[in-house]
Chains A and B, each alone.
Chain A
Amino acid sequence: MKIKSQKDFWSGLMFIVAGVGFAIGATNYSFGTSARPGPGYFPFGLGILLAVLGAMVLFKALTIESEGGDPVGDIGWRPLILIVLGVVVFGLALPRLGMILSLPILIMISSLAGDEFKLKEVIINIIVLTIGSWAIFIKGLSLVIPLWPAFMTA
């Protein structure tokens, strides 16, 4: 069997897995009856429906010819990993190191994700954005965000 549309093949598979997963998960909760639907009623039905639609997408991907096989294309691992890493590191760092350090870390990591990294520009960007964020979020909107590292304020 030949896959005629890569994109649809994988999205169909994704919908089936998600649908079946939710439907199985829903069996942990009381299903109820039509007259008294329980907490598992709606998610179970939706999960099944999603799996059915996923199967339709999958079937189409295997039968209907598409232009050039509709390839998924290369995955941009570098931006994917670095952007997500930057966000996660920021999440971990903010309560401990404060905004004054975690924001520069975030900007540095995410700037590495692009292909035009110039240290000088990134440093300017860091200074502008950190001061700007302080002015907007802490000074302007008076949101509760740790500014300085925890070891300095303790």
Chain B
Amino acid sequence: MSGSVAVVVFPGTNSEDETLRALQAVGLTAELVHWSQPETLPRFDAYVLPGGFAYEDRVRSGAVAAHDEAMRTVIDAAEAGKYVLGICNGAQILAEAGLVPGTGAARRPTAAFAPNASGRFQSVHVYVKLAVAPARVPILAGIEPGAVIPAWASHGDGRLAAPAEELARIASDGHLAFVYADRDGNPVPAPNGAALDCAALTNRVGNVLAIMPHPERDAWTFQHVDGTRESARGDTSAMLAPSGGMRFFAYFAQAVRAGVAA
């Protein structure tokens, strides 16, 4: 498996470049593919939907992109076991496309990343903790149990919302992939009021992951907020050293190189 990844760009996507850099930094052959080139998508081994405001979040966050022609290939690929990662707006698109939690039909959402409980856009540094057994998320091959990843939560619509019976299913069937935590992995309330303190959802197979916070925005030391960045001041190589978010992409790379999920 060559490890080729399409970073799918919709009109209004704005995090494609930093996502691309993180993917390339872990050795993947990644390239940007615009929504207007859907015919080029099938050849890739995996897909990443980056953050932003696809189609200006018209109607609902992720709703229009979920019905874009480019998503037909992504949905087909997900159903064939290829790896699909959505970050922030990409996560919203995956939820609107019904790929996460994936308990209903394609393009029939059963959950949503709805407006934050605060009613406001929030940008805060967070940590997210793996909330399922590593085997449940083959999209992150080699991740350690309870792994804690630093990231930036930067969204207006990041609150997991679903009917009570669907939330129970998400919790009981291993769809709740990551929850918010502190740097030591202790649970903390979701800053956006998300049900189950959800930071990321996965599907039944674990080849699709929708994560609201941005690990690509804490992929290098200069993006990290604890004392590491301060102590690296004046040392370019230390400042450009990988940060915790890069581990997230390293797990993803390991999965993509290994091939499709079972």
**Do A and B assemble together?**
no
Interface residues of B, Cβ cutoff 8 Å to A: none
Which residues of A are at the interface with B, using a C-beta cutoff of 8 A?
Answer: none
